[in-house]
Amino acid sequence: MKKSELRALIREAVEEVMQEFAPLGVAEKQQLQEKSPPDFPKALHDKLLKQYKGEEDKAYATMWKIFYAKKNGHKKIEEMWTAFENKSLNEAEEKGQDEEHDETDLSNPEENREVELANKIKALANELLGMHGVNGEEDNSEEKAADEKV
């Protein structure tokens, strides 16, 4: 008997037993198909799917094995999990960052909002200076030139 035939027989037997004894159909095949564990790091998920290309069932089985090993306190698995969580976060941050842009382009909503906030901060600072008897609107040609751009 070939190794693949033996695996198929074992898989069938396990599925039959699971369906017979699983409460409320929890182990039905349709519920177990290609689902990754909760909060599984995206970077590790993607790596395993790439590694087991064409054999997604093996990739997901590996994910669940890793998940339960972490849950049971396996130190190396916890370290790997954390590393891939950090990698996933870094990738998400990199995707969220725009390319270099012109800071003076007020048609960009980000830049427009920054200028709004800066003006509010400036008004509050001037109010605070005024409370202390200091004139916050001193004659400074550089500041006036910057204000005129806004």
The domain locations on the chain are: 10-95, 109-149
pLDDT of residue 70: 87
Number of helices (H), then strands (E), belonging to the chain: the values are 7, 0
Which helix (H) or strand (E) segment is 109 a member of?
helix 109-131
pLDDT of residue 102: 75
pLDDT of residue 27: 43
**Residues in the chain, how many?**
150
- What gap in Å lies between CA 125 and CA 128, rounded to an integer? 5
For the chain (150 residues), the mean pLDDT of every run of 10, in chain order, is 74 64 45 70 88 89 89 87 82 65 76 84 89 70 54
